[in-house]
């Protein structure tokens, strides 16, 4: 663990600069996403066509799943950063109120955040990187602006802008930062409450998305050949294609409705 308030260089500390609006899948993550895509294509081909030919036609669509997975993991990482940033602002505001200079407040906050989230926590790494940048004669405004650009979060950008104005105007930096941190915390709490309220609906949406598949499997298992006309005639295949289109559209719409942005 790093020393409290120390601004001395750390020789063995290697920090990777992260652009949070970008995400590159590892080979394992890419293969896992493609595997999920192949499985989904297999389920759709069996449910709506019962045909290997349909599966082979649909299988290339599995290559689109890494795009979805990359976006999901990117948003998950940004959400994690936002939650940690909320706590970081309160910690930083408290240290500024205790009389620390901004540079020392960042270093002390880094230690406290290390205890909360570990040295490898996203916000712990960012504060460590900021302290390192200050050691090589960059200003606090510069390192905060750099973090704001890389974070892709409006709250971080707002904080950096307020900090820059407060520092240049020579106002009461401690009270200004504390008020800003409280405003950002309240905004983030509203977002967390909305996510909590919609969590059960998202689970219901996932369950409802699987029910049509379960119904087909159940009917086919209990009454073999019941859907024979749907799979064995061109009219049936056209009708099942329309059903699949409606099914996939309903999934996309439900996800869009539940994706509430503030």
pLDDT at 13 over 60: no
Q: What average pLDDT does this structure show over 92-100? A: 81
The pLDDT, as a whole number, for residue 158 is: 85
Sole residue written with tokens 């205790």: 98
Q: What average pLDDT does this structure show over 206-228? A: 83
Whole-angstrom Cα Rg for the chain: 26
- Out of 33-42, 159-168, 206-215, least confident range: 159-168
Q: What average pLDDT does this structure show over 155-173? A: 79
Instruction: Tell me if 95 sits within 8 A of 133, measured CB to CB.
Output: no
Q: What torsion, rounded to 10 degrees, do the Cα atoms 113, 174, 154, 194 define?
A: 70
Give the model's confidence band at 145: pLDDT under 50 very low, under 70 low, under 90 confident, else very high: very high
The pLDDT, as a whole number, for residue 104 is: 87
> What is the chain's length?
262
Give the model's confidence band at 255: pLDDT under 50 very low, under 70 low, under 90 confident, else very high: confident
Q: Is the dihedral of CA 200, 203, 209, 210 positive or negative?
A: negative
Give the residue, 150 or 4, on which the prediction is more confident: 150
Give the residue, 166 or 58, on which the prediction is more confident: 58
Q: Please tell me the distance from the alpha carbon of residue 232 to that of residue 243, in angstroms, as a whole number.
A: 16
The pLDDT, as a whole number, for residue 262 is: 57
Contact partners, residue 190, CB within 8 Å, separation at least 6: 262
Q: Which of 141, 138, 109, 101 is nearest to 126 (CA)?
A: 109
CA within 13 Å, CB half, 132: 15
Sole residue written with tokens 């029910």: 211
The pLDDT, as a whole number, for residue 1 is: 31
Q: What average pLDDT does this structure show over 80-88? A: 87
- Return the axis-axis angle of helices 102-117 and 140-151, rounded to nearest 10°: 40
The pLDDT, as a whole number, for residue 9 is: 36
pTM of the predicted model, to two decimals?
A: 0.78
pLDDT at 57 over 60: yes
The pLDDT, as a whole number, for residue 3 is: 34
Mean pLDDT for the chain? 83
Q: How many CB atoms neighbour CB 206 within 10 A?
A: 12
Share of the chain above pLDDT 70, in %: 92
CA within 13 Å, CB half, 177: 28
């Amino acid at each position: 663990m790093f020393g409290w308030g120390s601004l001395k260089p750390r020789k063995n500390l290697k920090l990777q600069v992260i652009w949070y609006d970008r995400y590159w899948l590892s080979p394992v993550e890419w293969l896992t996403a493609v595997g999920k895509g192949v499985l989904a294509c297999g389920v759709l081909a069996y449910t709506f066509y019962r045909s290997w030919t349909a599966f082979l036609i649909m299988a290339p669509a599995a290559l689109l799943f890494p795009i979805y997975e990359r976006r999901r993991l990117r948003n998950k990482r940004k959400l994690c950063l936002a939650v940690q940033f909320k706590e970081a602002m309160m910690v930083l505001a408290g240290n500024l109120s205790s009389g620390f200079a901004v540079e020392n407040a960042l270093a002390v906050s880094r230690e406290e955040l290390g205890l909360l989230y570990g040295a490898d926590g996203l916000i712990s790494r960012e504060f460590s990187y900021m302290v390192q940048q200050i050691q090589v004669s960059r200003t606090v405004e510069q390192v905060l602006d750099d973090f704001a650009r890389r974070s892709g979060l409006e709250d971080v950008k707002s904080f950096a802008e307020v900090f820059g104005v407060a520092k240049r105007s020579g106002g009461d930096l401690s009270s200004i930062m504390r008020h800003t941190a409280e405003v950002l915390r309240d905004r983030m709490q509203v977002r967390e409450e909305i996510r909590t309220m919609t969590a059960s609906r998202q689970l219901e949406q996932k369950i409802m998305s699987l029910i049509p598949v379960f119904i087909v499997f159940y009917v086919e298992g209990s009454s073999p050949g019941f859907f024979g006309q749907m799979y064995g005639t061109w009219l049936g295949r056209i009708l099942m294609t329309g059903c699949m289109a409606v099914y996939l559209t309903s999934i996309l719409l439900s996800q869009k409705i539940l994706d509430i942005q503030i």
